Amino acid sequence: MAKLRQKNPRTVRQAEEVRGLEHLSMDVAVNFSKAAQLSSHIHNVCAEAREAIYTREEDVKFWLEKGVDGSMFEVLPQGSDLPELQRCRLCLDRWKPCICSYSLSIEWYPCMLKYCRSRDAGGKVSSYKCGIRSCQKGYTFDYYVPQKQLCLWDEET
């Protein structure tokens, strides 16, 4: 991929393939002071979010199998655990706990090589690398917050 160059690199691009929306429940909190075991990048990437680092339960299971210390994880309350727990956009009291949602869309990213076909003088078909295929992907993250005040972007519009 390093040898492939974009024609017109300043062009605003449209994805050739839409990979849909993935809904993720971030149901476990991660202790920032112990999180360096997971990745050396966490302290830089998550420095401003020390009290609000979340992950999924299936990710925790993977890390525990790899021998990571389980004391850095805290399972968070879920809607099924607390029936009165609402989505933050529906919650009127800014000081009540709720389930916050954050959506993210990656409009264009290179996702695979593109192959083209040609015929030689004898009519034989051959394929060759001719570019990079682009994709679009969306994510929605749901996670517990102890008060709606920590999730003000999730307002009903």
**Residue 63 host element (H or E):** helix 57-65
Model confidence at 15, in pLDDT bands (50, 70, 90)? Answer: confident
Tokens of 32: 């920032």
DSSP assignment string, 69-122: -GGGEEEPP-TTT-TTPEEGGG---TTS-EEEEEEEEEEEEEEEEEEEEEE-TT
- Pairing type for strands 73-75 and 28-30 reads antiparallel
Tokens of 24: 């993720």
- pTM score, two decimals? 0.74
CB-based contact 78:53 (threshold 8 Å): no
How far CA 70 is from CA of 60, 61, 66, in Å, comes to 8, 9, 11
Identify the weakest region by mean pLDDT among 26-30, 76-80, 97-101: 76-80
* Span 96-129, pLDDT tens digits: 999 999 999 999 888 888 888 888 888 888 888 8
CB-based contact 109:137 (threshold 8 Å): yes
* Span 124-154, pLDDT tens digits: 888 888 888 889 999 999 999 999 998 888 7
